[in-house]
Structure 1
Amino acid sequence: MHLPSRTRRGSLAAASTVCALSLALAGCAGTTKDSARNDTGNGTGNAAAGRATADPDAELRKGLKLAFLPKQINNPYEKIVDDAGIAAAKEFGSTGKEVGPSDASASSQVSYINTLIQQRQDAILIAANDPNAVCTPLKNAMKQDIKVVAYDSDTAKDCRQLFINQASSEEIGRSQVRSIAEQLGHQGEIAILSATQNATNQNAWIEFMKDELKKPAYQHMKLVKVAYGDDDDQKSFQETQGLLKAYPNLKGIISPTTVGIAAAARYVSSSSYKGKVVVNGLGTPNQMRRYVKDGTVEQFALWNPKDLGYLGAYAAAALASGQITGAEGETFTAGKLGQYTIGKDGEVILGPPAVFDKKNIDEFDF
């Protein structure tokens, strides 16, 4: 079953039932690197987008080189995203590849960006471990007319032309709290198991979670801790253990990271906490299926990561081809996903998250 993703402009409406997100990188067409550089000058980020002129009728260029730089190379979720983007590049006659560090530290991506610049890639797509640590090399890339698209986790706004966002950050954050609150009857202590302390997307979601918890409906719930597993399976497993020992009255864990939620579920599934502590968050159906079926996890959410990578590829191609510059209000077509509109600060939103549970999880394979 393929979930629809049809929200295109501005912010997303809340999803009351299952809705899938789709991401696609935009394809490049029309101009050469030299001619595009003459059009945009040496500006960077969205400032450059304001000076450049888009040609929405330009054809997607063939032979583009797209490079995906995930938070870490061995992250199973980002492997799905990047593989889908690489496959999308083939649709418009271009090539893609995935490179990246084995750890998710703030500066681990910098050397890879510098290498991709030397290789004269047409576009770099990055899921940033830190919004600022990667800025200097990314700005250098844009000065050399290499297009920069952030996906999954944003950079600072002037360090890229586009940000492909899985969903509205506000909707993701607030929906996580609403979901676990319903499971807990709006009572009890909860904790958050995040990825890295500097991850842009995680921090944005957590801020909306905290704001949601201020509402009167959650007056009998308490956030006791935000822990960080650094998107490392073993550390996330240990952090889960630590949370449950440190807070004996803990009733629920929200883990808005696919590595974290799987590690938390694995720990709870084989412990005395199974059936007593709710585990919720963001995960993929394939990694969470066993925990849903054995009763450890009642439900979790996510967008379709294949669509995320697909959208990212077409967005990058559209930039490199001159169809768009990254300015608000511009539109482009992302292959089978249809038309998207660029929002404020170069943001393109895939769609609202899907909710997976025992009833529908076998309908999905990713």
Structure 2
Amino acid sequence: MKLFRTLGLGFMVGIFLFLAACGGSDNGSNANGSSPLNIAFLPKAINNPYFDTAANGGKDAAGELKGTFKQVGPSEASASEQVTYITTLTQQHVSAIVVSANDPNALAPALKRAIQQGIKVVSYDSDVAQDARQLFINQANSEDIGRIQVQTLAKQLNYTGEIAILSAASTATNQNTWIQFMKDELNKPKYKNMKLVKVAYGNDDDQKSFNETLGLLQAYPNLKGIISPTTVGIAAAARAVESVSKGGKVLITGLGTPNQMRKYVKDGTSPSFALWDPGQLGYLAYYAASALVQGKIKGQPGETFDAGKLGKKTIENNNVVLLGPPTVFDKDNIDEFNF
């Protein structure tokens, strides 16, 4: 009996050791020894064509990397609701949160708690506070984005007339950065006959952006152009201008997707506008998050990582990864794009 008990104890210890060795799926390792890719995207708002396109890019990357992808978020742009989603994702122990912030500071405490629990945090499109994420995937150089929108409208208006800006939320990091560069561009001597009369906010909501545009047209009867650096706002502004028969009289530019703006480009309401490919932005964000999760990078300037079809990417100052320069779309090239 003593021998049996001894053998039984040794047998049980062996079983426990065997289970521990085979428990890779439980302790967060794949067959190749790397961490699983359970990555969640949290955009400013869901059911937004821009973020839907970015999500498709993320899904493509997940397929290539054999990871999982999901997207959650508020139906309307709301920093407080984003905080709730961050808390839930943290409780679910996702491996990474990829977030576009409605407010850089409001989200920071929740994101820091996620990082403390070992979750990787990557911001994309609109940054969060730098100490609340490991990487920011920037669609393009912020200065280039801001200045190109002014330059585009100025050429259309022959550098003369009153203009307005229709932004998203007043707290949106990317919008405010771009607008600051717009204002700086407008201070150059060649724009002396152009005047910025107002910055309005549509909160990335279609109806509010539409109404804000109508308000601008009523308050400033001599308005010649509107810059809307948001895909929701630019389409709503174009529609609003046409609804009061001012298409081609008050020109619209900013940041939009070719599919939503094709009609307005061809009828002259928005002769040209700019954007990058949001699908590639989501694709790059997923690859960056996966590199962090798998320990291939720590998120430090100078590090490089593989980004699939986008090639090698380098982390720049302030832990930023750039997608590339924006593209200007007009009637000559818009039919070449489908997103």
> What TM-score do you get using the length of structure 1 for normalisation?
0.83
Give identity over the alignment, percent: 65
Partner residue, 1:76: 49
> Judging changes above 3 Å, is the alpha-carbon distance between structure 1 residues 127 and 303 closer, same or farther for their aligned structure 2 residues?
same
1:115 and 2:77 correspond: no
Deviations 1:44-83 (A, max 9, x none): xxxxxxxxxxxxxxx8946410000000112111111012
Equivalent residue, structure 1, for 2:180 = 207
The residue aligned with 1:104 is 77
* Unmatched runs of 5 consecutive residues or more in structure 2: 1-23
Equivalent residue number for residue 332 of structure 1: 305
Secondary structure of 1:163's counterpart equals: strand
Q: What's the Cα RMSD here?
A: 1.8
8 Å CA contact retained: 1:60, 1:317 = no
Say how many residue pairs are matched.
314
Q: Is residue 262–residue 334 contact of structure 2 (8 Å, CA) maintained in 1? A: yes
**Deviations 1:104-154 (Å, cap 9, x if unpaired)?**
122120110011011110000000000011111100111111000000000
Say which structure is richer in helix: 2
Provide Cα deviations, 1:90-113, integer angstroms capped at 9, x if missing partner: 211110100011121221201100
**One of 275, 290, 293 as aligned partner of 2:266:** 293
When the two structures are superposed, what TM-score results if normalisation uses the length of structure 2? Answer: 0.90
Contact 2:36 2:95 in 1 (8 A): no
**Which of 292, 303, 314 is matched with 1:319 structurally?**
292
State whether structure 2 residue 105 is matched by structure 1 residue 125.
no
1:187 partnered with 2:160: yes
Q: 1:68 to 1:33 in 2, by over 3 A?
A: farther
1:272 aligns with 2:272: no
Shift of 1:272: 2.6
CA 1:60–1:89: 2 relative to 1, 3 Å:
farther
Q: Identify the residue that residue 279 of structure 2 maps to in structure 1.
A: 306
Instruction: Give the whole-Å Cα distance in 1 for the aligned partners of 2:52 and 2:186.
Output: 33
- Equivalent position of 1:342 in the other structure: 315
**Partners in 2 of 1:60 and 1:99 — Cα distance?**
28
Distance 2:35 2:78 in 1: 34
Which residues of 2 match residues 238-277 of structure 1 at below 5 A? Answer: 238-277=211-250
Alignment-mate amino acid for residue 264 of structure 2? Y
> What residue number does 1:46 align with?
none
Q: 1:242 to 1:126 in 2, by over 3 A?
A: same
Determine which structure has greater relative contact order: mean sequence separation of CA pairs < 8 Å that are 6+ residues apart, divided by chain length: 1
1:178-230 per-residue CA deviation (whole Å, 9 max, x = no partner) reads 11111111111100000000000000000000011111111111100000000
* 1:152-180 deviation line (CA, Å, top 9, x unaligned): 00000000000000000000001111111
Give runs of aligned pairs for residues 199-238 of structure 1, distance below 5 A: 199-238=172-211
**Secondary structure of residue in 1 paired with 2:169:** coil
Q: Secondary structure at the match of 2:81?
A: coil
TM-superposed deviation, 1:308? 0.3
User: Whose Rg is larger?
Assistant: 2
Give the aligned residue type for 1:229.
Answer: G
The one-letter code matched in structure 2 to 1:156 is: A
Q: Is the 8 A contact 2:166 2:213 kept in 1?
A: yes
Deviations 1:289-344 (A, max 9, x none): 11112221101110001100000000000000111111110000100100010011
- Check whether the contact 2:35–2:293 (CA below 8 A) recurs between aligned residues: no
Distance 1:60 1:289 in 2: 47
What is the DSSP-based 3-state SS (H/G/I as helix, E as strand, rest coil) of the residue aligned with 1:109?
Answer: helix
CA contact (8 A) 2:45 2:77 kept: yes
Q: Could you tell me which amino acid in structure 1 is paired with residue 56 of structure 2?
A: D
Secondary structure in 2 matching 1:97: strand
